[in-house]
Amino acid sequence: MATVPSVSYSITVRLEVPAGGKAVSQLTHAVESAGGVVTALDVTNAGHEKIRIDVTCASRDTDHAQAIVDQLEAVEGVVIHKVSDRTFLMHLGGKIEMVSKVPLRNRDELSMAYTPGVARVSMAIARNKEDARRLTIKRNTVAVVTDGSAVLGLGNIGPEAALPVMEGKAALFKRFAGIDAWPICLDTQDVDEIVRTVQIIAPGFGGINLEDIGAPRCFEVERRLRELLDIPVFHDDQHGTAICVLAALKNALRVVNKGIENVKITMAGAGAAGNAVLRLLLAAGARNVIVCDYLGAVHKGRDDLDESLRWIADHTNADGYSGDLRGAVKGADVFVGVSAPGILTGDDIATMATDAVVFALANPEPEVSPDDAREHAAVVATGRSDYPNQINNVLAFPGVFRGLLDAQAGGVTQEMLLAAAGALAAVVTPEELGPNYIVPSVFHPDVAGAVAAAVRESAGGRARGFTEA
């Protein structure tokens, strides 16, 4: 549940009030007295006796929205006609569509776009399949693939319920990097079936973005697909998160004048995101890291270690700390949470080192209250849009895929991820850098281009225009 009114729980209430009464002036007060925020008040119809008004307001959650409606209805003379949830309205009929890039106005154009002219293009590709990148949508198309098993913070909700999220991802690809992405929601959670399905649809795509596939299944899916395919396979929940965390940490450590090789880092979360973040932090020079899961610190002496946890134990926690998260946080310079809500308090943050950095990224409710963390830490970041320093994967994946597609890359390397993180961090200039600005806005015009250029250079490729023949 949101702690403050949010546009994600925005409603529009259509109501009527008497034309000459006090009700109009009381509407805003009614919403505010219920804890909501009025964002628009529009008169849609006016008469001598009645006025129809659309009141748009932000609430905290569904129950709070109903409380606001009840408060409005309690105003003398108000008649409620309709309540619309603006988020649901945005999703009606889906959020993306396919649009032709070429006109089809006459028989000549039809004969070139389709039969008989298209046959010549097909035969050219049959002779050299690499021409598919040049002559089809493959050059600029990404498949956003999920099995619906780990969708946002909602868990295993299935492929149909995952579709709105994947549509949103596709819309972000288009908005921020000009990439045509398409949601592929699979009705299976069998690794073999997922891998085989993606393998046989791959010819139509220039890259694969794995999304919201639960751990540890996601590790095997990614590994096998990278071995099978000659196009990039990128698991955004892992590598997109890792890029953004490293970029933010680079800048946060500049704020507090500490080096990544010298700080103690405590992490909460050893799943897909935690594993990838850890690997990239180590590649960037981190030396002193303790990772905790729900059982406490990961260390070599635990008897429940699977392959992924064993790797973590072998590369972290050199002193063999075996206690809980609260103990691991004591004296730490950095806390990175990619786990569960409310597992730490402000008092826990108070035990960290001077000028501590706290990344509480569980969404929508962070590992520790950002307000409480700010009382003790020098820099605080979350995954939320209603606090400064939002660490959001949209800062990474559009630019990463733009660079991969432009370079016609066949895969994704750790060097590319490090390059992307460095470029993202550098978008924040020294003059802008501060405790409340360690990552740029997702709408910063330079983000996708900077990340794409870094990935393209790391891949050894060059920029290619969308219309190159």
- What residue type is 7 in one-letter code? V
User: Is 129 considered catalytic here?
Assistant: no
Give phi and psi for 210, each to the nearest 5.
-80, 135
Burial group, residue 211, by CB count within 10 angstroms (0-12, 13-18, 19+): buried
What's the rounded Cα separation, in Å, for the pair 325 and 330?
Answer: 9
- What residue type is 285 in one-letter code? G
Between the alpha carbon of residue 18 and those of residues 15, 46, 60, 83, the distances in Å are 10, 10, 29, 19
Q: Which of 50, 82, 95, 114 is catalytic?
A: 114
User: Is 397 in a helix, a strand, or coil?
Assistant: helix
The string of pLDDT tens digits covering residues 432-458 is 999 999 999 999 999 999 999 999 999
The string of pLDDT tens digits covering residues 115-139 is 999 999 999 999 999 999 999 999 9
Determine the average pLDDT of the residues in 49-63.
90
User: Is 300 considered catalytic here?
Assistant: no
Determine the average pLDDT of the residues in 345-349.
97
What's the rounded Cα separation, in Å, for the pair 453 and 432?
Answer: 22
Give phi and psi for 70, each to the nearest 5.
-60, -40
268: closest CA among 361, 336, 215, 320? 336
**Which spans in 37-85 are helix H?**
62-73
Assigned token pair, 232: 């990039």
What's the rounded Cα separation, in Å, for the pair 179 and 173?
Answer: 5
User: Is 454 in a helix, a strand, or coil?
Assistant: helix
Give phi and psi for 43, each to the nearest 5.
-80, 115
- What residue type is 264 in one-letter code? K
Phi-psi region at 416: left, alpha or beta (left = phi > 0; alpha = psi -120 to 50):
alpha
219: closest CA among 275, 139, 281? 275
pLDDT (0 to 100) of residue 464: 41
Assigned token pair, 172: 């972000």
Instruction: Work out the mean pLDDT of the chain and round it to a whole number.
Output: 92
- How many C-beta atoms surround the C-beta of residue 199 within 10 A? 14
Percent helix, strand and coil across the chain, each to the nearest 5? 40, 20, 40
What CATH number does domain 238-469 carry, 3.30.720.210, 3.40.50.720, 3.50.50.60, 2.40.30.10? 3.40.50.720
Question: Band of the pLDDT at 25, cuts 50, 70, 90?
Answer: confident
The string of pLDDT tens digits covering residues 239-268 is 999 999 999 999 999 999 999 999 999 999
Assigned token pair, 138: 């493959």
pLDDT (0 to 100) of residue 465: 35
- What residue type is 275 in one-letter code? N
Residue 468 confidence (pLDDT) above 60: no
**Residue 264: which residues within 8 A CB-CB, separation 6 or more?**
288, 289, 290, 331, 332, 333, 334, 353
Please check whether the two domains, 6-91 and 107-231, share a CATH topology. no
pLDDT (0 to 100) of residue 466: 30
The string of pLDDT tens digits covering residues 153-182 is 788 999 999 999 999 999 999 999 999 999
The string of pLDDT tens digits covering residues 176-226 is 999 999 999 999 999 999 999 999 999 999 999 999 998 889 999 999 999
- How many C-beta atoms surround the C-beta of residue 406 within 10 A? 23
Going from N- to C-terminal start, the domains of the chain cover: 6-91, 107-231, 238-469
User: Is 217 in a helix, a strand, or coil?
Assistant: helix
What is this structure's pTM?
0.87
Q: Which of 138, 169, 258, 264 is catalytic?
A: 169
CATH code for the structural domain at 6-91 = 3.30.70.260
Sign for the CA dihedral angle at 118, 120, 124, 129 comes to positive
Query: Any long-range contacts for 66-71 (C-beta under 8 Å, 24+ apart)?
Result: 67/34, 67/35, 68/11, 68/13, 68/30, 68/31, 68/34, 68/35, 68/36, 69/11, 69/13, 70/34, 71/30, 71/31, 71/33, 71/34
427: closest CA among 384, 397, 396? 396
What architecture (CATH level 2) is domain 107-231? 3-Layer(aba) Sandwich (3.40)
